[in-house]
Structure 1
Amino acid sequence: MYSEGLVNATSTTTNMTWRIYMKSYLKAASASLALMFVVSSLAACGSANSSNDQTAANSPSAAGSTSSASAPAEAQVYPENGLPTDQKVTLKVGFFEGGMGREWFDVAVESFKAKFPNVSFDVTSSPTISQVTQTKIGANDDKGMFNLFSGSIPGGIAPYVESGKLESEEDLWNHKAYDGNGKTLKELSFNGSFESSPRTAGNTYAFPISGSGSGLMYNKALFEKNGWDENPKTWSDFLKLSAEIKAAGITPITFPGVYADYITNAFGVPKIYELAEANNTLDQVQTDYHQFNTPYFLAPENIERWNRIYEMGKKGYFPAGLAAMNHTQSQMQVVQGKAAMVSTGTWVENEMKQSTPEDFKWGYMTVPFGDQPDSTKWTTFTPGSGFLIWAAKPDLEKAWSKEFIAWLWNLDNQQQIAEKGGMIPLRSDFADDPARLAKLQSLPSAFLDYAKNNKVKMDSGAADVQLTDPAFEQANKVISEAITQIATGKQDPLPILKEAEEYLKKAIAAQKK
């Protein structure tokens, strides 16, 4: 993409547009030359005709005709992106209308059409848009298929990537933002957003337009009333905070034992990276975790992570009855002041908005695993909510589809996504304007404020490869089923991690066959 008023002549979009234009021009020029040949032949045959014919051949209109055939009219393109202004395009969009709503999307569409009036949108919106998409794919009608669609494809996108049905959007990372002062979307994104974005076969296919953060969400009023530390800088500070909360008769941290993996929202793989960075082993550990190199479950940093949870459990920092709680019940504990913090994601504000008082404010923190106040605080962050692009569409339509996706990164649109959709903006400069930050829901605002005031690195914790053997699922199951026992101090994690490691080795061996 391009900053306002600039043209990046080397961009993928501009080059593609020029090829489209030249292809059309050469066809027109060939037809004109053929016509000139016929006219010239007729003129030669009639050279003995009266002087009126010669006069006609030299008339201004004839000269103009010859001139237009020999030199193309200058292409009319938008200076911001190099795409033609005079070619009307309609983008068919399949829109998933879920928890984010669609108000933010409609605002973005209207501003895009105002800027580029030759582009229009045909939107199909539904909470079950994936079923509509699947039906269209089954019809095998590329013309009737969506240009862009959100939601998901049943069975995942991998088969469609392998068959070339989806367009790669990896190039968008290097496109300039419309309002980014010449910076690319990658340069404007949060530290770790590029690395954390989901990829298939090494490419981005649903370029992220917003994100969700994970960690500990807390009752801000409760913290302020008790004077508790809302930004502990070290692991020791965090343990001190937990002890103070427990001493006040309140559970420090809750999570749903029914869906025990929720604990990884606050104590997930990024905490392993945080420990590795402190141990100067980050590069190796990240490589191992991205590639499923062993030791994996028995990596020293992972053993330390689970041992810390185990020690907190023995001190009673998690609720005794968590095994029976679902996610709504655990979150209600925070709303009701029975627990101080809950391990979940920033989506909780939208999810619980019908159950929280009007003046309730959520706070955000990550669990600091380091020993130094200025050490990096790693947090789970998942970029997402993007649109897939159908590959079997005209090049010009695909170019405009990518332009619209980049348009969603404008600060005004990022604010709409955060304010109306309850998501986290992906622009690292979003929090630079206090007035803009103040308009957000309390949790996106708290997350951005935390990121601004701490040395934060974001990561999704996802691997680069997939293990499909059932033994890998069994390894994860062994861990998941032991979480509540570990978190209540009843189960030493080491035997569980050893068992999971053996299943992982079987899965890796099966994958190599």
Structure 2
Amino acid sequence: MRHNRLLPAACLAAGLALITGCSAAQPAGSNGSSGSVSLTYLTFETPSLTASFWDTSIANAEKKVPGVTVKKIVAPSTDRDAYAKQLQASGQFPDLLQSITPSTFVQAGLLRPYDQGWVNANFLLPMGNAFKGKVYIPPTNSQIIPMVFYNKTLFVRAGVTTVPKTWADFMAVCAKLKVAGITPVELGGGDPFAASMPLVGILSADVLGKDPNWLQERYAGKVHFTDANVETAVAKYRTMAQDGYFEDGALGVKYADSITNFTSGKTAMYMMGSWFLGSVPKAAAADFGSFMTPTDDGSLVVPFAVGGSMAINAHTAAPDKATAFAEAWSLDPANYKALIEGDGAFPMLKGKTLADYDVNVTQVFEDSYAYVLNQNTKVSAFGWATNDDSMPSGLDDDFYAAGQDLYNSNDIAAQMAKLDSAWDTATK
């Protein structure tokens, strides 16, 4: 699911003004009913995860936990982390928080871990989003960030008969498409996170594919963005830009427009998170396929991010009730339908097939989901992890911005030095 990390202060202030109070600061049973509690729950809304979705999912979980009433708080943008920080600063940190980044709050002692036995019993990758050995959001779903989606019709028109396995193959395909008058790769560079997608794919494949512990080693000061192997990987993105493999004026194309450009056949490939699968037009789904960012030697590297449902406030006045509600919500297959169909989320519940979620998905979704289920080299998606490989708070934004800066800048060393400096500042 896309994370828009820009949250204007005016919106935050307006949102805070609408909240009358959070139960974390109230005693259990404060609604006047013996044994009953009122919990606050931070959510967010998107075109696929609508107000109706949240209301229905909350109501269903409430039925499974007698005595619990849940008050929904809607973040004014999809940046839950920033909004949760604002709520915490004003003494209104919610009892439950949907899809936040645990590392941002665990180190401040704000989150309560789940029982590991319950996690192990219910999820395919129990430790997929664990932080410092504990699970703070159930690993309910996953994304591959990015995949390389492609238009089969445009490939055929350009005489491309096979998907590229190596980086040299990929560059040859881009060149062939360009010669045929077809824009090789959609970028959507008007939004920093979208502009960085080629970087995410390349660094995940070339750097983490060879050293899966690189991000943790960066915390230890053993490696740096200015290292030769990192700069060599980043140079691939510069080559794509220099050789004209993105659309003209790519930095002026917004994320929403990039989806339309690709699905309407204006471009041949699109490096984007697997949430794009929710935007594949079903009427033309047979025209689309996917593959991983190619590596130099053709080895398969899957940049993986395990997402989850809700975190629990470590200081909630009703920890047992909050945990029971969170567990009930996280195990309800009905909640996954919108996530799978609308956001392209890959479900991670044990003992379930896609049929158990009553979903209608495309063949390209099923083919892409196979990368999750199959044995292969999975690494954390660079800049998108929520586990021990997550970047320091704020570094994701710097990394995404580098995608825009590098589109026009040949000074790779300077851009990487900026990231090293920002990292060092953030971890002091």
User: Is it true that 1:167 corresponds to 2:111 in the alignment?
Assistant: yes
d(CA) in 2 for partners of 1:212 and 1:406? Answer: 17
Deviation at 1:451, TM superposition (A): 3.6
Match in the other structure for 2:141: 210
Equivalent of 1:325 in 253, 262, 265: 253
- The one-letter code matched in structure 2 to 1:309 is Y
* Residues 475 and 499 in structure 1, CA contact (< 8 A), matched pair in contact too: no
Deviation at 1:339, TM superposition (A): 0.7
Q: 1:102 to 1:273 in 2, by over 3 A?
A: same
Match in the other structure for 2:294: 368
Match in the other structure for 1:70: none
- The one-letter code matched in structure 1 to 2:376 is K
Match in the other structure for 2:369: 448
Match in the other structure for 1:457: 378
Match in the other structure for 1:101: 50
User: Is it true that 1:288 corresponds to 2:214 in the alignment?
Assistant: no
Deviation at 1:219, TM superposition (A): 3.6
* Residues 209 and 426 in structure 1, CA contact (< 8 A), matched pair in contact too: yes
Equivalent of 1:377 in 265, 290, 301: 301
Match in the other structure for 2:205: 274
Q: 1:443 to 1:113 in 2, by over 3 A?
A: farther
* Residues 144 and 305 in structure 2, CA contact (< 8 A), matched pair in contact too: yes
* Residues 208 and 384 in structure 1, CA contact (< 8 A), matched pair in contact too: yes
User: Is it true that 1:311 corresponds to 2:239 in the alignment?
Assistant: yes
Q: Which stretch has the larger CA shift, 249-258 or 445-454? A: 445-454
d(CA) in 2 for partners of 1:379 and 1:307? Answer: 19
TM-score when scaled to structure 1? 0.59
SS in 1 for 2:345: coil
Equivalent of 1:252 in 184, 189, 192: 184
Deviation at 1:398, TM superposition (A): 3.3
* Residues 185 and 269 in structure 2, CA contact (< 8 A), matched pair in contact too: yes
Residues 74-107 of structure 1, C-alpha deviation per residue, up to 9 Å, x if partnerless?
xxxxxxxxxxxx9766654343333422555455
* Residues 93 and 121 in structure 1, CA contact (< 8 A), matched pair in contact too: no
Gap runs ≥5 in structure 2: 1-33, 384-388
Match in the other structure for 1:499: 414
d(CA) in 1 for partners of 2:161 and 2:67? Answer: 51
* Residues 337 and 357 in structure 2, CA contact (< 8 A), matched pair in contact too: yes
Deviation at 1:418, TM superposition (A): 1.3
Give matches, 1:151-190, under 5 Å.
158=104, 164=109, 166-169=110-113, 171-172=114-115, 174-176=116-118, 183-185=120-122, 188-189=124-125
- The one-letter code matched in structure 2 to 1:439 is N
User: Is it true that 1:397 corresponds to 2:321 in the alignment?
Assistant: yes
Gap runs ≥5 in structure 1: 1-85, 178-182
Match in the other structure for 2:386: none
Q: 1:204 to 1:224 in 2, by over 3 A?
A: farther
Higher helix share: 1
- The one-letter code matched in structure 2 to 1:484 is Y
- The one-letter code matched in structure 2 to 1:98 is T
- The one-letter code matched in structure 2 to 1:414 is Y
d(CA) in 2 for partners of 1:399 and 1:415? Answer: 23
Q: 1:162 to 1:451 in 2, by over 3 A?
A: closer
Residues 417-441 of structure 1, C-alpha deviation per residue, up to 9 Å, x if partnerless?
313x424134176885578696236
Deviation at 1:402, TM superposition (A): 4.0
Deviation at 1:367, TM superposition (A): 0.9
Deviation at 1:252, TM superposition (A): 1.2
Deviation at 1:319, TM superposition (A): 2.6
User: Is it true that 1:439 corresponds to 2:360 in the alignment?
Assistant: yes
- The one-letter code matched in structure 2 to 1:306 is V
Identical positions, percent: 16
SS in 2 for 1:381: strand
User: Is it true that 1:124 corresponds to 2:72 in the alignment?
Assistant: yes
* Residues 217 and 342 in structure 1, CA contact (< 8 A), matched pair in contact too: yes
Q: 1:221 to 1:111 in 2, by over 3 A?
A: farther
Q: 1:500 to 1:239 in 2, by over 3 A?
A: closer
d(CA) in 1 for partners of 2:353 and 2:273? Answer: 23
- The one-letter code matched in structure 2 to 1:150 is Q
- Cα RMSD of the aligned pairs, angstroms, is 4.6
SS in 2 for 1:184: helix
Match in the other structure for 1:262: 194
* Residues 267 and 367 in structure 1, CA contact (< 8 A), matched pair in contact too: no
Aligned residues: 384
Residues 274-304 of structure 1, C-alpha deviation per residue, up to 9 Å, x if partnerless?
334765x444x34334x17365222233122
d(CA) in 1 for partners of 2:304 and 2:379? Answer: 6
* Residues 209 and 384 in structure 1, CA contact (< 8 A), matched pair in contact too: yes
d(CA) in 2 for partners of 1:473 and 1:149? Answer: 20
- The one-letter code matched in structure 1 to 2:382 is G
Q: 1:126 to 1:412 in 2, by over 3 A?
A: closer
d(CA) in 2 for partners of 1:250 and 1:369? Answer: 23
Match in the other structure for 1:484: 407
* Residues 97 and 312 in structure 2, CA contact (< 8 A), matched pair in contact too: yes
SS in 1 for 2:229: helix
d(CA) in 1 for partners of 2:83 and 2:293? Answer: 41
Deviation at 1:448, TM superposition (A): 0.9
* Residues 94 and 148 in structure 1, CA contact (< 8 A), matched pair in contact too: yes
